[in-house]
């Protein structure tokens, strides 16, 4: 937890020189910056991988006045691990690597580096080593321990399932019809070999692009115990550097992933 405190203190020092760095309350009360929710809500229209035809289910168990006179509501929900804004634990594509409950906080909380290719991303675009090198030329080396966020602009399509996935098909044959951007496997390999990122997130349904049949970027990253965050929202509200990320998934024992609430703190005067 000391690392988290240091990160938040550093954000205060950068964001607002009039607030003492040790005054961490300024991170939470609006004096030192703003919080951005990068999570799509879960509901009946939440997008899941097309082979999952059940989606998110919410069952009403109680709603209304009780015999005692007070209001009470309760629900049961059911969901696959990998739908909506969610975590990919490394074990999802790498045997013996971290499960959802084993991922340390150091891989879920840290400084964000946002690579934005929305101006050129097309349905089968793969973010390349050249894209990462261009970002570093403009903003400096991707920091060790950073959470790398890839913005393709696909979150703008979230309300249109067909536009987001590239197909309206469902079932076992639908995956071959998917079209959306992702991370090129060579770029994933470069991140593992040349940089030291804590996690990688993207605003599409998958770290790999839609037409991938090998899911090589998943395999490369997760084999190095680098978790993934998929179906992110509002990345356009983050700067290229300077924001801090808190990504807290449901802590499912032995799980390969799970629903994720992910937020970013952007230092600066309100």
Tell me which residues are annotated as active site.
92
The answer for residues whose C-beta is within 8 angstroms of residue 13's C-beta and 6 or more apart is: 21
153 — alpha (psi -120 to 50), left (phi > 0) or beta? Answer: left
- Tell whether the torsion through CA atoms of 38, 43, 44 and 50 is positive or negative: positive
Nearest partner of 234 among 39, 32, 35, judged by Cα:
39
The tokens for 6 are 């240091």
Please give the C-alpha separations between residue 9 and each of 104, 215, 265, in angstroms, as whole numbers: 21, 38, 12
Question: How far is 13 from 27, CA to CA, in rounded Å?
Answer: 11
Element (H, E) at 13: helix 2-15
Instruction: Report helix, strand or coil for 223.
Output: helix
The tokens for 194 are 């040349």
Question: How far is 270 from 265, CA to CA, in rounded Å?
Answer: 12
The tokens for 232 are 């992110």
Question: Bridge-partner residues for 48, per DSSP?
Answer: 83
Query: Torsions phi, psi of 24, nearest 5?
Result: -65, -15
CB 183 within 8 A of CB 126: yes
């Amino acid at each position: 937890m000391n690392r988290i405190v240091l990160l938040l203190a550093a954000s205060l020092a950068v964001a607002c020189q009039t607030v003492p760095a040790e005054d961490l309350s300024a991170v939470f009360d609006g004096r030192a910056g703003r919080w951005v929710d990068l999570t799509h809500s879960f509901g009946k229209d939440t997008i899941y991988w097309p082979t999952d035809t059940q989606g998110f289910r919410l069952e009403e168990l109680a709603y209304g006045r009780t015999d005692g006179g007070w209001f009470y509501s309760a629900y049961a929900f059911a969901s696959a691990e990998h739908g909506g804004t969610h975590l990919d634990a490394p074990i999802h594509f790498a045997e013996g690597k971290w499960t959802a409950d084993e991922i340390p906080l150091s891989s879920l909380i840290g400084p964000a580096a946002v690579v934005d290719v929305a101006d050129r991303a097309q349905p089968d675009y793969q973010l390349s080593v050249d894209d990462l090198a261009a970002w570093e030329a403009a903003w400096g080396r991707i920091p060790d321990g950073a959470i790398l966020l890839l913005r393709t602009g696909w979150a703008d399509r979230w309300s249109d399932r067909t536009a987001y996935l590239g197909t309206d098909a469902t079932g076992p044959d639908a995956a071959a019809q998917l079209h959306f951007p992702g991370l090129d496997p060579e770029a994933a390999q470069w991140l593992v070999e040349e940089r030291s990122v804590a996690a990688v997130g993207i605003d599409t349904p998958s770290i790999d692009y839609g037409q991938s049949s090998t899911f090589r970027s998943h395999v490369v990253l997760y084999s190095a115990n680098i978790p993934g965050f998929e179906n992110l929202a509002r990345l356009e509200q983050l700067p290229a550097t300077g924001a801090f990320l808190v990504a807290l998934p449901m802590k499912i024992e032995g799980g390969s992933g799970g629903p994720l609430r992910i937020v970013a703190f952007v230092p600066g005067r309100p």
